[in-house]
Amino acid sequence: MYSLFEPHTEWLSKGKANKRVELGHNILVASDQWGFIVEHQVVERQADVSLSIPLAERLLNRFGDDAIESISFDKGFYKRENKELLKLYIPEVIMPKKGKKNQEERAEESGKTFQKLRHRHSAVESDINRLEHHGLDRCLDKGLKGFKRYCALGIVAANLHKPGDVSFDKLMTSFRGRHERSKRSCEG
């Protein structure tokens, strides 16, 4: 037990230089190609390796067997059996292996498609940062039920901001274009 007041709290060692340890729970998130978070789970005392198959099942049930073209995971999710099973249902499975790789694994991970989809995975890190920006860096509610509710509401808030962000970006692009055109007409 790491907290007298929140006994459900876990000790999270993420291996990052600036934060050696955190207290709380990991949150598993899945986002679509537009950056909306479509699935989340507060992870309680489970290894990442055990989460990939249940996550894929939930996504396939929600969106249909032909709707998901690719799925990408961090290195902590790698398990050869899971990767092979996922490939039966999803055409492109990006699940890099930790540690030493054999020649076949090196060839796969250096392939053009793998690299392209792996670079898209960085958008998930951006989504996580967005969640922290919307208040999920610190939970103010009490108890595990409160923690889960707080996470769900933070994800709803982040998803509600997403269309506004897209509209703002389009507005700024339009404004810059008009500004450049008016600048040229004034110079002419």
Is residue 55 predicted with pLDDT exceeding 90? yes
Could you tell me the two tokens for 187?
Answer: 């110079």
Among candidates 5, 6, 87, 16, which has minimal Cα distance to 44?
6
pLDDT digits (tens, 9 = 90+) for 139-186: 777 888 888 898 888 888 888 888 776 666 666 676 666 555 555 555
pLDDT digits (tens, 9 = 90+) for 82-134: 999 999 999 999 998 888 888 888 888 888 888 888 888 777 778 888 888 77
Q: How many other CB atoms are there within 10 angstroms of residue 135's CB atom? A: 15
